[in-house]
Amino acid sequence: MYTLAVVIPTYKRTDLLNRLLESIEKELLPPSFKGVWVVENGEKYGAEELCSLWKKRLPLHYLYTETPGPSYARNLGAESANTDFVIFLDDDVRLSGKTINSYNREMQNYGPDYFYGGPLRIDYEKKPEDWMLPYFPWSVKGQDLGNKIMQVEEAVFLGANHAVPVKYFLKVGGFDSMCPVGEEGPLGEETRLQRELLAAGMKGVYVPDAEVWHFVPKERCDKAWLFDRQIRKGMTKGLHQSGNIGSGKSTMVIPIWFYKIYFMGLMKFVMSRFLINPESRFKAEYYLYELKGIIRGYKKKLIQYKKSI
C-alpha cells in the first residue's frame, strides 16, 4: 500500500486555511493517508495557533520557515511527510468530500511512476464579465478535462490541485525555491516540474473525482490584476526565451527582432484607443502588457548572468 499526505503552503490566509481544513475533516480518509502538513512561510500570521486547534481533529503537522514562497514551503512539506505520494493543495481551495480518496484509488492502481491532477472549480467572490473571462488563467476560470480517468503526456495540472510521487519529486529537485516570490515572480513553477517529470519518462493521470473549489476574490477578477499577471506571464517567457546571453544580435540583451514586435504591439495599442468596442481595446492592451513582461524577463536574465560571472 502506497502512503500519501497533503501538503499546504500558507501565508496570511488563516480564514481560507480554516475553510480548507474543515473540508478535509469531511473527507473519507483512506488507511494510506498519513496526515496534513501545513507549512507557514515568511511572516507568521496565526497559522500555528489555528493548527494547534486542528490537531485535535486531524492528523495535522505544522511547520514554519522564514524563507518566503510556496515553492520552498512545498519542498519542505514533501521532505517532512516521508510518504510515497504528496497531494499539493493551495490554502484557498476546499475539497469535495471524496477528493483524497479519489487520488488514493488511482495512486494504488497506477503506482509511483505517474503524477496526478484533478479538476479545479471556482468559488467567485465576484465573477468577471463574461466577455473578459476567456482571457483569465485557468486558476480564475477553472479547469475540467472531462469525466473520464485518462493518462496525459502534457504538463496540464494546476498548482492548486496536483499530486506527485515523492521519490521522483526529490530526484528532479522539487520546486525551484530560488525563483522570485510574490506578485513580482514568474509563473508556472508546477508546469516546469511536470515537464521535468515527463522528461524523466513519467506520465500524468487525470482523476476527475479529485476535484477542488478555488476561492477567487473580486480583486483577481478585474483588468488591473489581469494586466499585472500578463506582465508576469511575459516575464516568465522572457526568462526562458533569453537562452544564451550574448549570442545573436541584441541591444541590452534583448534581441533586435523583439523590438520590432514590441513596436508593432505599441502601434496596435495606440490605434485601439480610437475603437468603440471595449473588447478590441482590451485585447491590444492585454497583448502589450505581455510584451512589457518579456522585456522584464530578458533584463532579469541579464542580471542573473552578470551575477554568475
Query: For residue 262, what pLDDT band results from cuts at 50, 70 and 90?
Result: low
Domain ranges across the chain: 4-220, 223-308
Cell readout for 300 is 532579469
Of 233 and 31, the structure prediction assigns the larger pLDDT to 31
Closest CA to 2 of 114, 117, 107: 107
State the pLDDT at residue 21: 98
Of 259 and 287, the structure prediction assigns the larger pLDDT to 287
Residue the block writes with cell 528532479: 172
Question: How far is 236 from 298, CA to CA, in rounded Å?
Answer: 9
* Mean pLDDT for all residues in the chain: 85
Give the bridge partners for 214, in sequence order: 93, 122
Q: What is the mean pLDDT of residues 108-136?
A: 94
Residue ranges of alpha helices (H) inside 46-188 are 47-54, 70-81, 99-110, 138-141, 166-171
Q: What CA–CA distances, in Å, run from 258 to 29, 220, 250, 261?
A: 52, 30, 9, 5
Closest CA to 11 of 79, 72, 100: 72
State the pLDDT at residue 183: 47
The bridge status of strand 150-152 relative to strand 85-89 is: unpaired
For residue 80, count other CB atoms closer than 10 A to its CB. 15
Question: How far is 148 from 145, CA to CA, in rounded Å?
Answer: 8
Give the bridge partners for 39, in sequence order: 9, 63
Q: What is the DSSP letter of 133?
A: G
Q: Could you tell me what percent of the chain has a pLDDT over 90?
A: 60
Buried b / exposed e along 163-178 (16+ C-beta atoms within 10 A): bbbbebbeebebbebe
For residue 214, count other CB atoms closer than 10 A to its CB. 22
Contact 5, 34 (CB under 8 A): yes
State yes or no: pLDDT of 244 exceeds 70.
no
Q: What is the mean pLDDT of residues 12-18?
A: 96
Lowest mean pLDDT among 150-159, 256-265, 294-303: 256-265
Give the bridge partners for 95, in sequence order: 212
Give the bridge partners for 164, in sequence order: 86
Q: Which SS3 state, helix, strand or coil, does residue 65 take?
A: strand
Of 265 and 109, the structure prediction assigns the larger pLDDT to 109
For residue 84, count other CB atoms closer than 10 A to its CB. 19
Rg (CA), the chain: 21
Question: How far is 69 from 177, CA to CA, in rounded Å?
Answer: 7
Which long-range contacts link 300-303 to residues 24+ away (Cβ below 8 Å)?
A: 300/235, 300/238, 300/239, 301/238, 301/239, 301/242, 301/245, 301/253, 302/242, 302/245, 302/252, 302/253
Closest CA to 11 of 77, 65, 75: 65
Contact 192, 176 (CB under 8 A): yes
Contact 87, 7 (CB under 8 A): yes
Q: Global pTM?
A: 0.82
Query: In the CATH hierarchy, which fold is given to the domain comprising 4-220?
Result: Spore Coat Polysaccharide Biosynthesis Protein SpsA; Chain A (3.90.550)
Q: What is the mean pLDDT of residues 131-158?
A: 93
Q: What is the mean pLDDT of residues 254-269?
A: 62
Question: How far is 26 from 98, CA to CA, in rounded Å?
Answer: 9
Give the bridge partners for 307, in sequence order: none
Q: What is the pLDDT of residues 33-53, one digit of tens each?
A: 999 999 999 989 999 999 999
